[in-house]
Structure 1
């Protein structure tokens, strides 16, 4: 066995301290005590209304006061109806998804894949089954070959779903816009609790048990992304998105957390997905003119631009950050990150430090592996799976 150097000991100590902070430094103990957004805006700003709904994201200015973004096209109102994301849907929600999670709950995992990532998908499925035998897995087809579809349909308790591009604006066909992640709204119609992440991600430890427990305890929001990048949101954000989701630079200097998601149905979750969906449907919001995925690596990764764009990841972070600094709800206090509200640069930096102290540990429990099985695999359910579980496989969604 290799000996650990001093650097390894230091890293280990830091992770331990972060974990210790996670265990003891929470203000709230239950999900019911965590204040999350459940009430619609009392008034809709002029020019922002659409069928009685607010279509302007309520962002923040440099003083952390309300600043509304450019209105999203009213033609996308039909998607709020389709995905049950209207204000009446949100305010009328009677129960949270976590109410359905108990010691016998089997988690649901989902991903959306194209042929160039199919080998990773095989390993993705095998990894999940290693940790959670018989768990339901949903695979969205973004562009698979017939033989790949046949292989998925042969896997036990893996549900194949075809993503229908015809239901969405033309820019959805450009997978590098990542607008296809609206599948999360589709999945929420059938699953109240699920993990969603890329096929290159691998689990570590019993995260499928730990994360729902932390949500119930008010330690994690019911829509949460994990695995922090080394750069800020600001560094990889094209300015066009800010026209729709306005936030000040000091807030955007926050470390960016990547698209490893756990989604649990709640008023907060639906409002979160509402804004993501409207932005994803609006090409200028999710994929502004001139946006590219390849970055220029130089300078300060927190305060300097890297001349690239992180599409869906930017949105997950920006909507989350707006909640933390919401001038009325004050999400940072609701989560117990701070005890007293304030303003100014030092206040913002303190909130962001506490955010990282809370969540960096969680991201360290996911692994990213850019490799997969090059040969077909067999995926069988464990012997204890009952006949009703196996029967689910027969209902393939084409």
Structure 2
């Protein structure tokens, strides 16, 4: 065998040495990148005031009953809450900036709101009423009087007039002992006037969070029981509490909304949530990760509400994806399930725990 030239040996040595140095550098870079990444995530979590789940029910959220159409679907949510939050951050809307600015859901407005020095211990109760729910509202009012108002006589109650007759408004102001406000439909896109599209509801929530740091929305059908104060405590500590429903988000959300948000329907075969009973603290997390996308969806026609949406109100087939549509309920369900998914039990409560829903 001929002798290997010394020059070739030297070049080979240099290549091996350079490769070794590069490998070690990459390891160090990756380690630093991971540390930096974890630090950034930790800072984001602190900065966003992401709800702390410590001490609350974090058992694995059970999905709704299996759907035949989703049998072969095996995609799951990332395990990291931060990764799921980034998905929500990347939802695309084309809402006029002046609307978000007016509602203080742009970055400037959110920073202004979270820097206000408020730390309420009990929520402001908020509701909305139209003529077709006027009779039902009496039950809610009675329930508030014998439960929250009995324990907290100073609790504030604000009601949005969604188009009451003069007689009904006068009657409401006489018996309610509440602050009755006319919803400003004229300030928002024309589709918000369609009450059955429920786009006015998340807008109402945000208008209240512009004034108060702790609110509880209740539909006319909500009835409290004597344990309501435990719900206040949970919401005060964790930041969000919302009533859980029994239908599947996959089934009760129109395909058009999933497509708009670029989400896969079968990933959301979880029990729906019902923002008809919803407690929320004003935090950066709540404003940026929930209210901004939900309100943006409400303001953009074709997202929460869309042409002929009324045809999809009733579910004719409880086993078929997108068999019907639940408007604000669907949007809240998608976002909260995307962020919390397996630990969503921590931010939901079940009917009968603190009251009930009575539509009679």
- Same fold by TM-score greater than 0.5: yes
CA distance in 2, matches of 1:360, 1:156: 27
Shift, 1:363, TM fit: 6.2
Change (3 A) 1:215 1:108: closer
CA distance in 2, matches of 1:197, 1:84: 23
Shift, 1:217, TM fit: 3.8
Match of 2:357 in 1: 368
Change (3 A) 1:367 1:183: same
Q: How many residues align?
A: 278
Question: What is the TM-score of this pair, normalised by structure 2?
Answer: 0.69
Match of 2:234 in 1: 214
Q: 1:52-71 alignment to 2 at 5 Å?
A: 64=78, 71=92
CA deviation digits over 1:369-396, x for unaligned, max 9?
122xxxxxxxxxxxxxxxxxxxxxxxxx
Unaligned segments of structure 1, at least 5 residues: 1-32, 40-60, 326-350, 372-398
CA distance in 2, matches of 1:130, 1:124: 10
Whether 1:110 and 2:121 are equivalent positions in the alignment is no
Q: Which of 203, 212, 220 is the equivalent residue of 1:191?
A: 212
Match of 1:73 in 2: 94
Match of 2:115 in 1: 94
Match of 1:47 in 2: none
Match of 1:120 in 2: 136
SS in 2 for 1:285: coil
CA distance in 2, matches of 1:299, 1:206: 33
Whether 1:138 and 2:158 are equivalent positions in the alignment is yes
Is this contact kept in 1: 2:103–2:210, CA < 8 A? Answer: yes
Whether 1:256 and 2:272 are equivalent positions in the alignment is yes
Match of 2:68 in 1: none
Match of 1:38 in 2: 48
SS in 2 for 1:139: strand
Please provide the CA RMSD for this pair. 3.0
CA distance in 1, matches of 2:188, 2:256: 21
SS in 2 for 1:323: helix
CA distance in 1, matches of 2:211, 2:345: 32
Greater per-residue helix proportion: 2
SS in 2 for 1:187: helix
Q: Which of 303, 325, 330 is the equivalent residue of 1:309?
A: 325
CA distance in 1, matches of 2:233, 2:260: 34
Unaligned segments of structure 2, at least 5 residues: 1-42, 50-74
Shift, 1:124, TM fit: 1.2
CA deviation digits over 1:262-304, x for unaligned, max 9?
121111121111111110001100113443343234353xxx3
Flag the structure with larger Rg. 2
Question: What is the TM-score of this pair, normalised by structure 1?
Answer: 0.62
Whether 1:247 and 2:285 are equivalent positions in the alignment is no
Whether 1:276 and 2:286 are equivalent positions in the alignment is no
Q: Which of 166, 169, 178 is the equivalent residue of 2:186?
A: 166
Match of 2:145 in 1: 129
